[in-house]
Amino acid sequence: MKIALQEGLLPGESLAEKLDFAESLNIEGLEVGGRSRLYDHVEQYEQALAGRSIKIASICGQETFDWLDPDPGKRANSLAETRRQLEACGHFQAVGQIVPPIFGGPRIPDLSPLQDAISLEKALLVELVKDLAAHAASHGTLLLLEPLNRYEQHLLRRQADGVEIIERTGSPQGVALLSDFFHMHIEETDTPAAFRQAGKHVAHVHMADNTRMQPGTGDIDWRAGLQALKDIGFSGYLAYECGIEGEPKDALTKSVQFVRETIAQLD
């Protein structure tokens, strides 16, 4: 398993300074924020990464989350943005783009007794994911569906919800699951078991402790969770998506050491 840090967590005034610090910790991956529109800054990132061992691991999110909006124009705009992000991921040979398909409650009206809003959303999401997964695969990357928690999203909240959508698409090569320890700590009754049940679908992992601060500062059982990931054969990136408690350089250094020591102790 490899460690990635989100660009926004890294101390430093410039991208070069941020990458210098990441490499001082032997970090393998950089997760770029989706609002930075990586596809508009390809040359800047190529220059910053030239000669370095660190690579872009993923893009997290985008500017719009309107896949499931009833307005066809909003859907089309949001889907077009996703395709461009996936193309940028492919260019940098990143694992993929992380997208929660919706925030908040349903936007599609309840059409019971024909279908309720959730059934309609899932049916639409399956068709959209088929198309986006094919686009991702054509660029050698993945669309990474992210289940959130009940306070942020109603549709995909547990790992099984994400797996359901993936399997209903026929499990094409271009789609997988983003599993987030923080959201799982809220929604799953047994995080290690949820990892084991999701199995091969887990392609990228977000890390934050139960307080949403850096790993090792809360009460998540990291050894049990990381052991489950090892047991399912996960060898990808563990990407920090969290707040930082304490002075950033010191706090990140201690947390990364904690994660690496925990991995080294796994069976």
Positions marked catalytic = 146, 241
In whole angstroms, what is the distance from residue 25 CA to residue 229 CA?
23
* CA nearest neighbour of 154 among 187, 200, 106, 117: 106
The CA-atom distances, in angstroms, between 9 and each of 112, 218, 259, 266 are 45, 18, 16, 27
What's the token pair of residue 190?
């047994």
CB 135 within 8 A of CB 83: yes
Check if the beta carbon of residue 178 is closer than 8 Å to that of residue 208. no
Whether the CB-CB separation of 186 and 218 falls below 8 Å is answered with no
Contact 227, 195 (CB under 8 A): no
Structure token pair of residue 262: 């925990």
**Beta-carbon-side half-sphere exposure of residue 48 (alpha carbons within 13 Å):** 21
